Amino acid sequence: MEYFIICISALIVAALTLLAGFGLGTLLLPAFALFFPVEVAVAATAVVHLLNNLFKVYLVGRSADKKILLLFAVPAAIFAMIGAWLLNFFASIPAIYQYSVGARTMQVRPVNLVIAVLIIIFAFLEFIPKFNQLSFKSGLIPFGGALSGFFGGLSGHQGALRAAFLVRVGLEKKTLIGTMILSAVIVDISRLLVYGFTFFERDFRLLYQQGGHYLVLAGTLAAFTGSFIASRFLEKITLQGLKIFIAVMLVIIAFALGLGWV
Tell me the average pLDDT across 61-89: 88
What's the pLDDT band for 38 if we cut at 50, 70, 90?
A: low
Give the percent of the chain with pLDDT over 70: 88
Q: What's the confidence (pLDDT) of residue 91?
A: 66
The dihedrals phi and psi of 104, each to the nearest 5 degrees, come to -100, 135
Q: What is the per-residue pLDDT across 221-235, written as a single tens digit (0 to 9) for each?
A: 999 999 999 999 888
Q: What's the confidence (pLDDT) of residue 145?
A: 92
First vs last C-alpha separation in the chain = 25
Among the listed residues 69, 194, 81, 193, the one whose alpha carbon sits nearest the alpha carbon of residue 142: 69
Within 8 A by CB and 6+ apart from 99, the residues are: 105, 106, 260
CA distance linking residue 153 with residue 140, whole number of Å: 20
42-46, 108-112, 140-144 — which is least confidently predicted?
Answer: 42-46
Burial of 93 per CB tally in 10 Å (0-12, 13-18, 19+): exposed
Q: Is pLDDT of 169 > 80?
A: yes
Tell me the average pLDDT across 52-71: 93
Q: What's the confidence (pLDDT) of residue 62?
A: 92
Q: What's the confidence (pLDDT) of residue 261?
A: 79
pTM of the predicted protein model? 0.79
CA distance linking residue 83 with residue 88, whole number of Å: 10
CA distance linking residue 34 with residue 39, whole number of Å: 12
The dihedrals phi and psi of 101, each to the nearest 5 degrees, come to -125, 105
What's the pLDDT band for 40 if we cut at 50, 70, 90?
A: confident
What's the pLDDT band for 175 if we cut at 50, 70, 90?
A: very high
Residue pair 138/127 in contact by the 8 Å Cβ criterion: no
Among the listed residues 172, 178, 171, the one whose alpha carbon sits nearest the alpha carbon of residue 231: 178
Tell me the average pLDDT across 45-72: 90
Q: Is pLDDT of 256 > 70?
A: yes
What's the pLDDT band for 116 if we cut at 50, 70, 90?
A: confident
Residue pair 257/116 in contact by the 8 Å Cβ criterion: yes
CA distance linking residue 22 with residue 49, whole number of Å: 10
H or E element at residue 123: helix 110-125
Q: Is pLDDT of 127 > 80?
A: no
Q: What's the confidence (pLDDT) of residue 156?
A: 65
